[in-house]
Amino acid sequence: MELFSRRFRTFVLLLAPCLFLAGMLYLQGQTRPAAADAAIPAAAADWGLSFQTEGQPPIGNAAQEELAQYNACYLGDTEKKVIYLTFDCGYENGCTEPILDALKKHNAPAAFFVVGNMIESAPDIVRRMAAEGHIVGNHTYHHPDMSAISDPEAFQKELDALAALYEKTVGQPLPNYYRPPQGKFSTENLKQAQAMGYKTVFWSLAYVDWCTDDQPTAEQAYAKLLPRIHDGAIVLLHSTSKTNAAILDELLTKWEDMGYTFASLDQLPA
């Protein structure tokens, strides 16, 4: 019975992130009234999007103007046909290097938000990210729900531990970009990250690419990523996705054919 209980708990822990993120993407696909003045939720919230018009930026559950006061954003320059590529990196499974190869081929800068396990298990790949001019951002050391951490010291420790490990591994300071694990955030989190000198970066386009045992086909990926691309898009992809590794070269070509160029987070509007 004890063995069954341990296996059940392990199953739940592995399944929970997929269920949570699938639900988040479901909510992002729902239509709600446009609210350009959407305020940051008073309590902890999950980052979500509403796509109103094909080819146009979605509406976040906090407005760009509201986020800006905490040095946070989910969109880039919406006056230009530019895309900001970002990847969340929890661990290495053989997909990151093909992704880096495609980015190099297209001379496309990207940001990789890494956790402690990624740096510890694949230091050479993380060093390659930095060497090839990509931003490596802070996705926390352990990938917890940061909105559930009320103690400022515990919040800071998650970010500082990752930054220290990166500097020790790569030999240079970690760039000051932060992405909350699972998109969970609160006003207090935004204030804390800002006080530490970080820019919090959400996203304006993502798709269900994280469940490694249930990867979308190339056609399914294109069906989400092509119609919903928009000027100033901050795109979230996962570096563990075999689909992303297989299609990124062609995906970047398709976006280029649509007139888009790629920019670094360092080029985000002030």
If you search the block for the tokens 């509406």, which residue do you land on? 59
Distance CA 188, CA 118 (A): 27
Distance CA 104, CA 109 (A): 8
Half-sphere exposure of 12 toward its Cβ, with a 13 Å CA cutoff?
Answer: 6
If you search the block for the tokens 């103690």, which residue do you land on? 151
Distance CA 174, CA 153 (A): 19
How large is the C-alpha radius of gyration of the chain?
18
Q: What residues are annotated to the active site?
A: 88, 238
By the 8 A CB rule, do 57 and 231 touch?
yes
By the 8 A CB rule, do 246 and 95 touch?
no
Distance CA 33, CA 265 (A): 29
Distance CA 262, CA 270 (A): 18
